[in-house]
Amino acid sequence: MKREILDRLREAQAAKEQAVLIRDLADASASLMIGDTVLGNLELDTASVADPVATVLRTDKGRIEEIGGRSLFFQPFNPPKRLLLIGAVHIAQFLAPMARMADYSVTLIDPRTAWATEERFPDTIIDDRWPDEALEALKPDSRTAVVALTHDPKIDEPGLETALASPAFYVGALGSKKTHARRVERLKEAGIGDDAIARIDAPIGLDIGAVSPAEIAVSILGSMTLALHGPKRKAA
């Protein structure tokens, strides 16, 4: 791999940018794609590689594609997965370890220090700032999920507003349909547009009939997985 490609890849990883390295298996020529930018000595028609690039980033798995009579290997370089959990509630106590088992780095955000403790959330990063302040500093990216669970508008909604202004791949909020309808009205009054509000998964989680906190955590992690990878497809 050429030094210029390696250096740019390191820069992309430091900046938490998605990148795909594309190599011709016949002659080892290679190019790096970051968004619409291409760097390297492998000549590419960006339109012809758009689908496999999107696929490997979605599945986080490399693959070989035959394009224009060439065997090309697509290798994804995704930022680490993160879960920013707003609310030191019972559901979060189950969701945090489940998410870690699914390779997420988990940060719990809650200014209520009586609830957000190491005893209740072992092996979890705890941020006691208000959610909007914490999210502005943590900068959710395209591999970040933001989940609001306090059921308290004063805590959840500032965080949701900040999350909706970010490229976070998943934004979810606990609450019934009635609760969410009231939340939507408040977000609109705060100047949040309809398209942004539509990104919120609420009532949160897959509809699997979840009742207990552990089951709700499973449904939330399922929604996050579906949002990140899309439904399972044989072609992928």
pLDDT in tens, 9-64: 999 988 888 999 999 999 889 999 998 889 998 888 888 999 999 989 988 899 99
Residues 43 and 103 in one domain: no
Q: Is residue 235 part of a domain?
A: no
Same domain membership, residue 211 and residue 106 = yes
Residues 146 and 201 in one domain: yes
Range of the structural domain that residue 118 is part of:
81-229
121 plus 68 within the same structural domain: no
* Model confidence, pTM: 0.85
Q: In the numeric block, which tokens belong to residue 78?
A: 């995704």
Of 36, 61, 77, the residue at which a domain comes to its end is: 77
Band of pLDDT at residue 2, cut at 50, 70 and 90: confident
Task: With respect to residue 129, please indicate whether it lies within any of the assigned structural domains.
Answer: yes
Residues 71 and 159 in one domain: no
165 and 59 within one domain: no
71 pLDDT tier (thresholds 50, 70, 90): very high
Instruction: Classify the C-alpha dihedral 219-221-222-224 as positive or negative.
Output: positive
What residue spans of the chain are helical by DSSP H? 3-14, 46-59, 90-101, 131-138, 153-164, 177-189, 194-197, 213-229
- Residues 58 and 101 grouped into a single domain: no
Q: How many CA atoms, within 13 angstroms, populate the side-chain half-sphere of residue 98?
A: 18
| Last residue within a domain, chosen from 77, 106, 138 | 77
**27 and 40 share one domain:** yes
The answer to the question of residue 236 being in a domain is no
Domain co-membership, 73 together with 26: yes
Q: What is the DSSP letter of 161?
A: H
The predicted-structure confidence for 135-169, as pLDDT tens digits, reads as follows: 999 999 989 999 999 999 999 999 999 999 999 99
Total domains in the chain come to: 2
**Last residue of some domain: 77, 99, 116?**
77
Predicted pLDDT at 236: 45
